[in-house]
Chain A
Amino acid sequence: MNVKIRTEKLTVRFGNNEALKGVDLDVCKNSITGFMGPAGSGKSTLISLINRMIDFEDGVRIEGGLSIDGEDILGTSVDVVGLRRRVGTVFAVPLPLPRSIFENIAYGPRLKGINKKSDLDDIVEESLKKAVLWSEVCDRLHVSALKLSGGQQQRLCLARTLALRPEIILLDEPCSGLDPISTAKIEEALNELKKDYTIILVSNNTKQIARACDFAAFFYMGTLVEFDQTEKIFTNPRVKQTEDYIQGKFG
């Protein structure tokens, strides 16, 4: 098994409130790992550590280690901007920038210094195709992204992340506001993408985790309760809490 992301005794405190309590976790390369758990369980906090978006929060204290490819990413000397180009993020609500579809996707590549029109054209087409959106928007790339439907916007966000050519993709409850058809399309896209990327999917929807993920992690109150292959977790959980959560007894 090829470890991409590893956490060691990772603890995060917001003031007096412990959001993560000593989490040890290995995320495998070229797989989809699902994070599940009720609200406030710490799964989103872990995500925001991996892309260091946690820097925008006040009063955070972090202990323990977090590494990508064996390289620590929590230190102060880490090149955060470079890190975020390696770790793409799709947020819970679709957040297109107020500009055209094309420019949304070209935003990341342009920041990297890619400005040649033909290069950008290629990247945009490739990313949209991977996000299963190309056929729907190929004839109106210069229309404002705000004009797309919610499901299309979320796939646009996925495409925008792919255009960065990242190694890791974090999806923070990407389907929470979407209809079943759009959700299916996103899951379809993810299944194709795992060949090239390491994907982490955060979801409240246990069925989605069961459908889409190779591995699943269950968080509760900041603790990693159980982590294993999806099949095992869903058929034969070791901990009672996990079983209750999967069966919908709380959450």
Chain B
Amino acid sequence: MRVNPRFTDALVRHFLNLQAYFTVGLLVVIVFIIFIKGISNCSLSFMLTYPEDMGRHGGIFPAIMGTVFLAALSIVFATPLGLGTAIYLTEYTRESRLTTIIRFGVESLAGIPSIIYGLFGFIFFVIKLGMGWSLLSGALTMTIMILPTIIRTSEEAIKAVPRNLRIVSHSLGATKWETTVKVVLPSAAPGILTGIMLSIGRAVGETAAVIFTMGSSLRLPASLMDSGRTMAVHFYILAREGISMEKAYATALVLVVSILAINILAYYTMNRVIAKYS
């Protein structure tokens, strides 16, 4: 018997529709579970107080600050490097063997799993350079890890700036650098910002690379050389060691909500860019 193609078509449409909504449903379920289980233990004071008894009681203030410090530091290190690389690739050189090599480097870095970053950061920053488990070791490791994201998104954003704007600027007697700073970067800013926000999200959610480089001290890091704990690491330890499921859920809630907020903001910014150029 031949099946009517129209019937197949309708069937497939519904099946694929189901798949798409099932997948979105996964996201909703994950967020929902975290929210329902976490909300009762999550309050402002939870976010602003210090943990007691390894996190069994009290709040997660040092973990929040550790996360903020780590993310801020790695962005401060990675943005000039990444943006500089993107500017070099788009404005200062033509496609050549050299750019192929650089791109190969960036792509490879992007593909390396976080545990390898953890291994490298541990042996290089923590041990060989003697930085110990510290905010600095963690931030430098994270810097390398988020670099490819920043380079790629900045490059895309810079490439999207119309060539004519550069021509005009040059015709008015601007040097390459003046053109880049005054014309190209302002137009590419939203796209670059998107990359930075996605990177922040990555740094906030990372565990494997952080735990072996920044350590897991529950204290608030008071200097670059102090060890500290990010929310993700704190959550991992709480959940894995079964210290307190309530606190684990509450931490997960803060963690997931902040990451979602950062990501949504990033997409919003990106859409504005797309709207602007199309």
Residues of B near A84 (CB, < 8 A) are: 170-173
Q: Which of A97, A112, A157 contacts B183 (CB 8 A)?
A: A97
Are A58 and B171 in touch, CB under 8 angstroms?
A: no
Interface: A111 (CB within 8 A): yes
B170 touches A56 (CB 8 A): yes
A84 to B186, CA, bound (A): 23
Instruction: Determine if A181 is an interface residue (Cβ-Cβ < 8 Å).
Output: no
* A88 close to B165 (CB less than 8 A): no
A-B contacts, 7 listed (Cβ < 8 Å): A58-B94, A84-B171, A91-B171, A97-B169, A98-B187, A111-B173, A161-B171
Q: Given A95-B168, A111-B178, A81–B183 Cβ distance below 8 Å?
A: no
User: What residue in chain A is nearest B172 (Cβ atoms)?
Assistant: A108
Known: A58-B94, A97-B183. Contact between A164 and B173, CB under 8 A? yes
Q: Is there an interface contact between B94 and A161, defined as CB atoms closer than 8 Å? A: no
Give Cα A56–Cα B174 distance, bound, in whole angstroms: 14
A107 within 8 A of B: yes
Q: Closest chain A residue to B94 by CB distance?
A: A58
Interface of B is mostly: helix
Residues of A within 8 A of B164 (CB): 91, 93, 95
Is there contact, CB below 8 Å, between B167 and A95?
yes
A89 within 8 A of B: yes
Cβ of B240 within 8 Å of any chain A Cβ, yes or no, is no
Nearest-neighbor residue (CB-CB) of A99 within chain B: B186
- Which residues from chain A sit less than 8 Å from chain B, CB to CB? 51, 53, 56, 58, 81-82, 84-85, 88-89, 91, 93, 95, 97-98, 107-108, 111-112, 157, 160-161, 164
Say yes or no: A160-B172 contact (C-beta < 8 A), given A53-B167, A56-B167. Answer: yes
Residues of B within 8 A of A (CB): 94, 164-165, 167-175, 178, 182-183, 186-187
The residues of A that contact B165 with a CB separation of less than 8 Å are: 95, 97-98
Name the CB-closest residue of A to B163.
A56
Cα(A160)–Cα(B172), bound, Å? 8
* CB atoms of A81 and B175 under 8 A apart: yes
Query: Are B169 and A91 in contact (CB-based, < 8 A)?
Result: no
Q: A98-B187, A161-B172 given. 11 additional CB < 8 A pairs? A: A53-B171, A81-B174, A84-B171, A88-B172, A91-B167, A91-B168, A97-B165, A97-B169, A97-B183, A111-B172, A160-B172
- Sort A-B residue pairs by CB-CB distance and give the 10 closest, nearest first: A85-B173, A89-B171, A108-B172, A84-B173, A95-B168, A95-B164, A111-B174, A81-B175, A81-B173, A111-B173
Tell me, in angstroms, the Cα distance from A164 to B178 when the chains sit together.
Answer: 16
CA of A35 to CA of B173, assembled, Å: 24
A58 to B93, CA, bound (A): 12
**B168 touching A51 by the CB < 8 A rule?**
no
What residues of B have a CB within 8 angstroms of the CB of A88 in the complex? Answer: 171-172
In the complex, what distance in Å separates the CA atom of A57 from the CA atom of B109? 33
Chain B residues lying within 8 Å of A112, measured Cβ to Cβ, are 173
Given the complex, which residues of B lie within 8 Å of A160, measured CB to CB? 172
List chain A residues, Cβ under 8 A from B171: 51, 53, 84, 88-89, 91, 161
A107 touches B169 (CB 8 A): yes
Within the complex, the shortest CB–CB distance from B236 to chain A, in Å, comes to: 46
Contacts of B94 in A (CB 8 A): 58
Q: How far is the CA of A95 from the CA of B182 in the complex (A)?
A: 15
Write out the residue numbers on chain A whose beta carbons fall within 8 Å of the beta carbon of B178.
111
- Expressed in whole angstroms, the minimum distance between the Cβ of B166 and any Cβ of chain A is 8
- Least CB distance from B2 to A in Å reads 57
